[in-house]
Amino acid sequence: MKKKDFISIANWSAKELLDIITLSYRIKKTPHRFSSALKDRAIALIFEKQSLRTHVAFELGAKQLGAHTVYLTNADISLGKRESIYDVTKNLERWLDAAVVRTYDHKYLEQMASTGKLSIINALSDFEHPCQAVGDFMTILEKLKTVKKKKFAWVGDGNNVCHSLMLLAAKLGMDFTAVTPEKFEPDTFVTTLARDEAQRTKASIVLTNDPTEGVRNADIVYTDVWVSMGEEAHRDEKIKAFVNYQVTTSLMKLAKPTALFMHCLPAHRGEEVTDEVIDSPQSIVFEQAENRLYSQKAILVTLLRKKKTSNIAGE
Ligand code: CP
Ligand code: NVA
């Protein structure tokens, strides 16, 4: 059955996710063939937090597919405060086909998805960033051609971006090592899910607190900010906990000589990564950002493309 929502990598099969990645390549190669794919569909973009890449990719992407967009911030609707999530969703579904939602609380997304017929897309929650993961694996497959027997080393906080990448790596059969400080390991439930998937695809999921061991022989070294949006009050303690987890040129040297450096961005240069690494020929961060556009369009098309419909007389 066609799925309605894109909230977590966990809910989508490897085949379905690879289909989205394949569609992303087709959209990248022949964008004009998709210029009416979502003609006159309507999509809300609800952003409770700041965004450059996700906002641009979905707003521009939706427009390039022929859809209309309405951009709403917390200043407009105060999700869950001005009125209930249920009432917001019941209103939106009268006008729109989908809502792309960036929120602090992952539960809001689940609540919106179970409320009615509106397609809900997770544009980053405290728990996952599935749209980022799809774009990133599009980029990884472009570069490496295969993920089998390749090693992904995550260096940083085991939170939202890490969760989606770990689940997708496991489903597609890429070895994944999460290098985090103690107490910042990925969520236990997500790790168990990823390990179950990895057993099927013969991949490994390793958690370690040791950057040297974790990065050794990696094909991909990936990091993210140490202080995520919403955690600003804990900035000092987080910086202290992560100080030995910066991706530097000497850390990159432990990975394969062909290793690529990735970052979801925004980057806090001088914190999680040095200028030398992010500006090096190994870095593919702007290709990642570019591929967000094609892959977010592919997610929209997958969810919202209509089957051929009959006319008003049912013909
Ligand atoms: N990587 C990412 O989601 O970037 P934005 O926060 O700018 O959307
Ligand atoms: N972990 C970061 C990702 C930003 C795209 C955050 O949640 O702020």
Taking only the tens place, the pLDDT of each residue in 145-171 is: 999 999 999 999 999 999 999 999 999
User: Which residues make Cβ contacts (< 8 Å) with residue 250, sequence separation at least 6?
Assistant: none
Residues 124 and 156 in one domain: no
Q: Tell whether pTM > 0.95.
A: yes
For a pLDDT cut of 70, what percent of the chain falls above it? 97
Q: What is the mean pLDDT of residues 122-139?
A: 98
Strands of the sheet with 175-179, listed across from one edge: 205-208, 175-179, 151-155, 220-223, 260-263
- Considering its fold, how many domains does the chain have in total? 2
Ligand nearest to the backbone CA of 264: 1
Rounded to the nearest 10 degrees, the angle between the axes of helix 160-172 and helix 130-144 is 50
Q: Which residues, in sequence order, are CB contacts of 130 under 8 Å at separation 6+?
A: 6, 7, 8, 9, 122, 164, 168
**Burial (CB count within 10 angstroms: exposed 0-12, middle 13-18, buried 19+), residue 118:** buried
**Do the domain assignments include residue 245?**
yes
Q: What is the pLDDT of residue 1?
A: 81
Flag whether 311 is in a domain: no
Catalytic residue numbers, as ranges: 102, 129, 132, 224, 264, 292
Q: What is the pLDDT of residue 306?
A: 83
CA of 79 to the centre of ligand 2 (A): 19
Kindly state whether residues 123 and 156 are assigned to the same domain: no
- Both 250 and 299 in one domain: the answer is no
Residues 260 and 137 occupy one common structural domain: yes
Residue 27 — very low, low, confident or very high, per pLDDT cuts 50/70/90?
Answer: very high
Residue 275: which CATH number? 3.40.50.1370
**Confidence check: pLDDT of 182 > 60:** yes
Same domain for 138 and 99?
no
Q: How many whole angstroms separate alpha carbon 62 and alpha carbon 66? A: 7
Question: Do 149 and 83 belong to one domain?
Answer: no
- The preferred substitution site among 103, 121, 224, 264 for testing ligand 1, maximizing ligand atoms within 8 Å of CB, is 264
Which residue range forms the structural domain that includes residue 223?
Answer: 132-286
Same-domain status, 56 and 168: no
Percentage of the chain beyond pLDDT 90 is 95
User: Is residue 123 a part of any domain in this protein?
Assistant: yes
Residues 163, 137 share a domain: yes
| Residue 128 beta carbon below 6 angstroms from any ligand 2 atom | no
In the predicted structure, residue 60 carries a pLDDT above the cut 70: yes
Pocket test for ligand 2, best of 56, 129, 292 (most atoms within 8 A of CB): 129
| Same domain? 168 vs 116 | no
